[in-house]
Amino acid sequence: MTLMDEFTSRLFREAEETLKEEPELEMLLNRTVLAKDVESFEDAVASTVCYRLLLHPPCNRKDIVGGDNPSDSMFCPNMLNLLLRRAFANESILEAGYTMKESVRQDAKAVIDRDPACNSLLEVVLFFKGFAALVCHRAARQKWISSKSGRSMTALFLQSQASAMFSVDIHPGATIGAGIMLDHGTGVVIGETAKVGDGCTFLHGVTLGGTGKDHGDRHPKVGTKVLIGAGASVLGCINIGSRSKIGAGSIVLRDIPPGATAGNRCLFFTMKIANGTILLKFLFHFGSWRTSQNHWTRTGRRSS
């Protein structure tokens, strides 16, 4: 049995077991993972993301184009489902060397392997919005790359809707490797010319943005297996070395070497007065990165 078959059979098995144990989820499962026209892991992901983006399921496969859609839908659910499935099937447009099918499978596996709160493949597909936002991005990027004008309104729609529904804003021009985990996902922003290597983990509130001063190539280039903590902002066309770590709340404006740890530190002092003890917080922030041998301040001088 191939990995593809194992992935698909695992998803279906978990969905059927969940349906038996929690029958109240019947409508959700029958409109997504267990829909009649779903035959593979990719079909299940496409149907689920389509449903979550528009809050309406696509029709059966025989009605994939056109069909009886609600008048209040902003985008034809059948066409969106078809768009996602075609993106999965496309092997000519690669992102960081991977097809969309390869990337999404590795993304799902990354969540299962690296998120201790995740216990099944089914919950990744149904509920993890960081995963869903990456699916939207990968489909949007194909439209962006293949557009004759160099810009695609459909790609921008997918970006906008993913931002609205999942609180993750990834420009379709960004290049993102495989095996990515956007933990929680909320507030993640990735700019147009950003590049992210394989195996990276971003927590909520991470920004890969520009400085506001440059045009053209203006966003960070992140290596492989980089961990960026919650609320960190990495700004400008800088390089973040592979296997490096950036602490929560950090503001990074310059290159970070491979394997280094970067972050902000703070110091607290106490002061006693006559009628009691008051903790006065004198907060000193200074960015730093360190390797196993050296510790450097922002000015580049070695400190003890």
- Per-residue pLDDT for 115 more than 60? yes
pLDDT tens for residues 146-171? Answer: 998 888 999 999 999 999 999 999 99
Q: Residue 273 gets which letter from DSSP? A: E
- Per-residue pLDDT for 142 more than 70? yes
Q: Domains of the chain: which residue ranges?
A: 1-164
Q: Which residues pair with 289 in a beta bridge?
A: 262, 296
Helix (H, G, I), strand (E, B) or coil at 303: coil
- Per-residue pLDDT for 34 more than 80? yes
> How many Å apart are CA 302 and CA 298, to the nearest integer?
10
pLDDT tens for residues 191-238? Answer: 999 999 999 999 999 999 999 877 899 999 999 999 999 999 999 999
35 and 19 Cβ atoms separated by less than 8 Å:
no
Of 104-108, 208-212, 216-220, 272-276, minimum mean pLDDT range: 272-276
- Per-residue pLDDT for 106 more than 50? yes
- Per-residue pLDDT for 46 more than 90? yes
- Per-residue pLDDT for 69 more than 50? no
200 and 225 Cβ atoms separated by less than 8 Å:
yes
- Per-residue pLDDT for 62 more than 60? no
pLDDT tens for residues 91-102? Answer: 999 999 999 999
> How many Å apart are CA 240 and CA 233, to the nearest integer?
12
Work out the mean pLDDT of the chain and round it to a whole number: 85
- Per-residue pLDDT for 139 more than 50? yes
What is the value of pTM for the model shown?
A: 0.84
Long-range contacts of 72-80 (CB under 8 A, 24+ apart): 75/157, 75/161, 77/50, 77/51, 80/50, 80/53, 80/54
> How many Å apart are CA 112 and CA 173, to the nearest integer?
27
Query: Which CATH architecture group holds 1-164?
Result: Orthogonal Bundle (1.10)
- pLDDT average, residue stretch 58-65: 51
Residue type, 236: G
**Could you tell me the two tokens for 202?**
């971003």
> How many Å apart are CA 70 and CA 110, to the nearest integer?
36
pLDDT at 215 (0 to 100): 85
- Per-residue pLDDT for 185 more than 50? yes
pLDDT tens for residues 171-180? Answer: 999 999 999 9
- Per-residue pLDDT for 265 more than 80? no
Share of the chain above pLDDT 70, in %: 80
The residue that leads in pLDDT, 60 or 196, is: 196
